[in-house]
A and B are shown apart, each in its own frame.
Chain A
Amino acid sequence: MKIYNIVERRMIWYLLSLALIVPGLISLMTQGLNLGIDFTGGSIFDLKFQGQPAISEVRQAIDRVELELGNPVIQETSPGEFLIRTRDLTEAERDSFVSALKQELGNFEVLREEKVGPVIGKELTSKALLALGVASILMIIYISFRFEFKSGIAAIIAILHDVLVTLGIFSLLQLEISSAFVAAVLTIIGYSINDTIVIFDRVRENLQNRKKSESVAYVMNKSIMQTLTRSINTVLTTLFVLFALFFFGGATLSNFILAMIIGIISGVYSSIFTACPIWHDLKRIGMPANPHQKTS
């Protein structure tokens, strides 16, 4: 089995990771995220018009409605089907909005309607942040417990990498962030840890059995190569299912599924090219250099 110098080339991987993350970060700081009503509060209407009006007609009709709607956002999701987002409307306001639209644009079917008041919006936001915080801490504890603390740090950095890549892409493309997205991020964290554990597990086994001439870097490279097939196959089978859901599963979940697709691909990348090299570097901080060690 040919053993590639993954760990030695870590500067390349670190730079590549930065190249993936930095554009996203810049977008996060400038455009920010497209937060859904779950976090900002508001009302959303998913309407299917019998008459299939054009989006410009719908926009005009909405402008003519006498209510102050707080900068409504209108999207055409398929011919005759529109997603309209307004500020959070009371029931009375909502009723007059709906009847005004019916008068102007003809009859429609309400496929889906959601309203989130400001209180709930804040609660969902804090719950989301709490979940992310708790998950990260528990992951560090678990890995430090099963392996060593330094590997816990390395694993968390890999997870951070995955979350930032996913958030970055969602910010760049201004895709809507809902509570389902948060669930996706948490699942990505779980997956990324899985991958990392499988590799670290192998590293630990190989380190126990290593010959004196093998450096830690060599052992890590070997472990990565040994687990590579498994990493790829697992990601592949999971992606089969996710892609099927993304293309055939309907629009409601598509952002959720996309987040998972991005996160899982990033996850397998980071377990190999980020977690291991960082663990290696952290280990080196405590160890003297050995010039007689084989590295490849």
Chain B
Amino acid sequence: MQGGGAIRLLIMAIFVAVTGFFLYNPIKSNLNLGLDLQGGLHVVLEAQETEKQPITKDTIDRTIEVLNRRIDETGVKEPIIQPQGEKRIIIELAGVGNPEDAVDIIGKTAVLEFKTDDGKVVLTGEDLTNAQTQMTPAGVPEIALQFTSEGASKFAAVTTANVGRVISIYLDEELLTDPVVNQPITDGRAVITGNRSVEEAENIARLLRAGSLPVDLEIIEKRVVGATLGADSLEKSKVAGIIGIGAVLIFMIAYYRLPGLLANFALLVYAIIVMGALSLLGATLTLPGIAGFLLSIGMAVDANVIIFERIREELRDGRSLRTAIDAGFKRAFITVFDANVTTLIITIILFYLGTGPIRGFAVTLSIGILASMFTAVTFTRWLLKWSADTPLRKNLKLFGA
């Protein structure tokens, strides 16, 4: 059918343009940015086993609960707190304003102890139901404690027995305050005074509300990326991406002419598919992930190059345009397949043995390879066949002969 190709090409171009236009915003808002692009904190904690406290699944679960409560209070969106192996917990907080505070909250075991002056522990954090900051009339922050009914009776007994003596309050062995008992306290409330900033008081209150950790945690790995650096990396990657891709697009047209232009169009579809897939899978885009995406563009183009070179050879050997196109795709597909399989094997290894950012790289690269098998082979083939069906087919030079 003469000229049918032109219409098909036009319809496809419009379809892609419209789809791209409508998908742009949904994809953009649904894309998960990694910590290295939006800033954040990644911490690996290891539970320290002691004789008194062996580590069981229950211990870890309870620890995670406490950590959850603590982090919940800081208002971080969608924190990730997960166990790893038998003794480890991974915490990822994205877009955290003050990573140092977050680390403090995470790390502290937060054991609250009330001791009489002979060093005996008479009450602990377990006896609390609430801890809130409040301001004195003079504007100094202090922490108001509220005991459980059991705690309240214990406290009443202790204060009655110790009138005129000191009761010291310790947090993780650090002295918070050591007031003298003036009279028995029976209403189950106490106040921790002291010269603290509002943040310090808030942090302590938070820790007390969430409860102490069942087990001591040691930070064995910590990665913090500031929001500035994250945003900066993202910007720079965008610029680099545009320049790199631009160079590739220009090259393809300059060297391969019409097929090159079609390959560029296929590349556009390719980019939409990859971004869409990442968005759909809820995959996280990391900085190496962006590099992986750009690298996969180089590879998608490679598939086209292999095919076009084949077509050129066939045209040189005197075959007709349609036969050359068919033969080119058929023969080249095997080579493209082999080359892609090996890279896929590599991405699988990287995924299993790599850490967060590297996994992002593996995921984007593998999605890219799979997508490119479609766009570079199937899709470009349609485009080429359709253009062979237009008056353009009379000008073999356009096709690279």
Beyond A183-B358, A197-B338, A237-B302, whether A135 also contacts B244 by CB under 8 A is no
Residue among B36, B302, B341 making CB contact with A234, cutoff 8 Å:
B302
Q: DSSP class of A's interface residues: helix, strand, loop or mixed?
A: helix
For residue A179, which residues in chain B have a CB less than 8 angstroms away from its CB? 354-355, 358
Check if B295 is an interface residue, CB within 8 A of chain A: yes
Q: Which of A54-62, A112-120, A169-177 contacts B (4 or more CB under 8 A)?
A: A112-120
Q: List A106-156 residues whose CB lies under 8 Å from chain B.
A: 109-117, 119-120, 124, 127-128, 130-131, 134-135, 138-139, 142, 146
* A258 CB → nearest B CB, Å: 12
A111, A180, A244: the one contacting B226 at CB < 8 Å is A111
- In the bound assembly, the distance between CA atoms of A189 and B362 in angstroms comes to 14
Residues of B within 8 A of A242 (CB): 244, 295, 298
A146-B239 Cα distance, complex, nearest whole Å:
40
Contact of B74 with A by CB under 8 A: no
Interface size on B, residues (CB 8 A): 68
Known contacts A112-B224, A201-B334, A237-B302, A91 near B219 by CB under 8 Å: yes
Measured CA separation A29–B365 after assembly (Å): 34
Contact of B237 with A234 in the complex, beta carbons under 8 Å: no
| Contact between A240 and B251, CB atoms less than 8 A apart | yes
Interface centre among A95, A130, A236 (most CB of B within 10 A): A236
User: Given A120-B220, A180-B357: A234 and B346 within 8 A (CB)?
Assistant: no
Contact between A238 and B342 (Cβ–Cβ < 8 Å)?
no
A-B Cβ contacts below 8 A, count: 193
What 5 A-B pairs are tightest by C-beta distance, nearest first? Answer: A244-B244, A238-B298, A241-B244, A250-B236, A190-B346
- A interface list, Cβ under 8 A from B: 46, 91, 95, 98, 109-117, 119-120, 124, 127-128, 130-131, 134-135, 138-139, 142, 146, 179-180, 183, 186-187, 189-191, 193-194, 197-198, 201, 226-227, 229-230, 233-234, 236-238, 240-245, 247-250, 252-253, 256-257, 260
Residue positions of B touching A, CB distance < 8 A: 36, 44, 46, 99-100, 103-104, 107, 218-226, 228-229, 232-233, 236-237, 239-241, 243-245, 247-248, 251-252, 255, 287-288, 291, 294-295, 297-299, 301-302, 305-306, 309, 313, 334-335, 338-339, 341-343, 345-347, 349-350, 353-355, 357-358, 361-362, 365
- Cβ contacts A to B, 15 pairs, < 8 Å: A91-B107, A91-B219, A134-B349, A183-B288, A186-B346, A190-B345, A233-B251, A238-B302, A240-B251, A244-B244, A247-B240, A253-B288, A256-B291, A257-B291, A260-B295
Sample of 18 further A-B pairs with CB below 8 A, known A91-B107, A197-B342: A109-B228, A115-B219, A117-B219, A128-B353, A142-B345, A183-B354, A190-B346, A193-B343, A198-B306, A227-B309, A234-B305, A237-B252, A237-B305, A240-B248, A244-B241, A245-B241, A249-B240, A252-B233
